[in-house]
A and B are shown apart, each in its own frame.
Chain A
Amino acid sequence: MRKVNVTVMAAALGMSVLAGCGNNTNTNNNNAAGNGSGTGAGEAAAAPAGNGTKTELTYYYPIAVGGPLTATIEAMTADFMKENPDIVVKPVYTGSYADTAVKTQAGVQSKQPPDVAVLQSTELFSLLDMDAIIPLDEFIAQEGGDTYLSDFYPAFMENSQTEGKTYSIPFQRSTIVLYYNKDKFKAAGLDPEKPPATWAEMQEYAVKLAGDGKWGLEIPVTGYAYWMLQTFALQNGNNLMTPDGKKVMFNTPENVEGLQYWVDLAAKHKAMPGGVTDWSTVPSDFLEGKTAMMYHTTGNLTNVKKNASFDFGVSFLPAQKQYGSPTGGGNFYIFKDIDKKKQEAAWKFVKFMTETERAAQWSIDTGYVAVKKSAYETERMKAYAAEFPAALIARDQLEYASAELSTHNNGRIVKILSDSVQAALTNELTPAEALQKAQNEADQALASFNK
């Protein structure tokens, strides 16, 4: 009896998949059905299509923000296969960025890498050291070379390029922005349309907004201390590393000053909680009204918009010498040690996923910044921005943004810097001592790459 049921169900499933594809006018229904039902009956259905061999791509992708994005990604790949009947893309959800990196590395070592994957843009040097990825310049040249690339925001491309070559294409990217509670601004006698624009103003506002068990400002630390330090470094001077990823500049006077400013907001001015604050606690504190302002990723925009019971604003991070924020997020990489044909198919897929209209829709669906300038000229994006102007702030800030910390031996370098920042924030070390220690350890960790 049970056996019969299974057969009946499988048949029904196959039928419904076929019926689902019946709506579109594409001549290659069989192919789509084959992918949809996976194994067994589906493959049998795909075989008689008989238009030569199909190129199969395995596509690893992580999900790092809230929302039912698996369905979105799968719909996007289905659209791609409709347009490219000779390519089959198998999207594989691989957890967080870290999980995806681990799975990819395991694949690379066992000579079975994915064909295409979204990984953090900062994985560039690690992937190069593992000899896992290919440069994309040849493909880019086919699309028009620099003209093709120039549509991508340069701040996002920084993490893709080293030594004159381009290795990845931006996909889901973010920056850090300031969120502030307009109601609290009014209550404290501040103009809700004028968020703090400089470090001095930020300090003044944060002190005014703090008190009565509430904080003026929160900056998340756990997991992202290095990223937040980059905001101060960029606003007060330069980025933390060289573009070739072989040297870091942690202990400059500008960075020490930046970290001192951050430490003082809590220790001296009592405008921020002391010690270390968790990444995910900060947005809930903001939504609960426990803090009037927060530094957080644009990736949280949709979440805050949905859940804030008060009027909130989004603005650039305050400037010292200039505005500044690091970028973040994931890029497309294409892997080595796979068929040339697969690499070409993978490039088609990458190009498809980052097309102007699709980039605009992906940005609206997720809260990520659209990676192409032209995406902001599309009707759908214009309509969205008119209704929700905050969505444009992150884009505008890109002019002042720079690459996320990315070096050889990146995991260790990030950890070294994050530990030191935490030591300064918990008053175990002074900012100057902490950054000097980080510099020494990082120099040692990079020594073998500077031979």
Chain B
Amino acid sequence: MNARLRRNGFAWLLLLPSLLFLLLFTFYPIALTLRLSLFQADLSTPEPVFTGLDNYRTMFQDEVFRKVMGNNVLFALGTVPLGIALALLMAVFANKALHGRGFMRSAFFYPTLIPMIAVANIWLFIYTPEYGLMSRLLSWFGVNDINWLGTPGLVMWAMILMIIWKEAGFFMIFYLAGLQNISKELYEAAHVDGVGRFTVFRKITFPLLMPTTLFVSIVALTNAYKLVDHLMIMTRGGPNNASNLLLYYIYETAFSYWDQGMASALTVVMIAVLLLIAAVQFFGLDRRIHYN
């Protein structure tokens, strides 16, 4: 008993510094946010007034809120599976390529190195109607002028494409590391047995990469809720909220409408969504994954 206490005490002592920081910079602000979300705290109320769940009620009737939630789901569905698939493909390719392996890897990786703000500016130009790169490319195929960022039905897809381009290289790095961890003997054995390439991928590579896939998909899914820098540069959430996302809406509510109560309520929803994603992945998918 005593020994156990001593051992645990030592562990707690080691954890103390990081716990302290977590408390101070994560849990404490979350608690404050939770509290403020129950108050009306906007420009018409100099002192916050307790209103219970009013902010949440208003939120769920808010058309823009429903729109940004929908957009976020579309954004996640659009960027995560495709981004991961592309990353895996690029990793397998960059791992196999005999000539110019280094070049290939850096070519795939370089979009990750560019800051999001710069990326947004580059793609703003790419999507410019008439003389933007995309327009010129499409005009060869006889497709007439498309205003990618100015058309409600297209703007989300334009964003999704850009984010996949930006993120796939980053995820590829994890897959490359994962591929290098898979024992060569497995492949040799498969080769001796004369197993086809596709079966090798399906039966060996893919299952053994599952831990990487889990990790990457958590990062990708949370990124789908965290990446909003590009909106600042490209559309400001427009046209008519067609490209608006939850985090940007929180920013607008807090720092443009100065409605801190509502911004807190929205933040609580955001935290809940992120926690849910993490929970599903850790407690749901994690059990089915084979760690070697």
Contacts and interface: CB of A to CB of B under 8 A. Distances in A.
A423 B236 CA distance: 14
Contact of A419 (B129, B235, B240, B257): B240
A325 to B, nearest CB: 23
Given A222-B238, A278-B149, 10 more contacts: A126-B43, A126-B258, A129-B43, A274-B150, A276-B147, A285-B130, A409-B42, A411-B258, A412-B257, A426-B242
A411 B251 CA distance: 12
A195 to B, nearest CB: 23
Interface residues of B, number: 31
With most chain A CB atoms within 10 A of its CB, the pick from B131, B235, B258, B259 is B258
Contacts of A203: none
5 contacts: A98-B255, A105-B255, A275-B239, A419-B241, A423-B240
A275 B151 contact: yes
A134 B130 CA distance: 50
B252 interface: yes
Interface string B190-222: 000000000000000000000000000000000
A154 interface: no
Contact of A274 (B46, B147, B255): B147
Contact of A408 (B44, B46, B240, B256): B44
A350 to B, nearest CB: 25
A408 B252 CA distance: 16
A91 interface: no
A449 to B, nearest CB: 6
A425 B147 CA distance: 13
B124 interface: yes
A401 interface: no
A275 B129 CA distance: 11
B44 A409 contact: yes
B33 interface: no
B64 to A, nearest CB: 8
Residue among B44, B46, B131, B149 having the largest count of chain A Cβ atoms under 10 Å: B44
Contacts of A274: 147, 150-151
Contacts of B145: 213, 273
B43 A221 contact: no
Interface of B: 42-46, 64, 124, 128-131, 145, 147, 149-152, 234-236, 238-242, 252, 255-259
Contacts, number: 97
Interface of A: 98, 101-102, 105, 126, 129-131, 213, 221-223, 273-278, 280-281, 285, 288, 290, 408-409, 411-412, 415, 418-420, 422-423, 425-426, 428, 448-449
Contacts of B152: 426, 428
Contact of A411 (B46, B124, B257): B257
A266 to B, nearest CB: 10
Given A275-B151, A278-B124, A213 B239 contact: no
Contacts of A422: 238-240
A423 to B, nearest CB: 4
B255 A102 contact: yes
B216 to A, nearest CB: 33
A415 B241 CA distance: 10
B129 to A, nearest CB: 6
Contacts of A273: 129, 145, 147, 150
Contacts of B255: 98, 101-102, 105
Contacts of B43: 126, 129-130, 408-409
Given A275-B147, A277-B150, A412 B239 contact: no
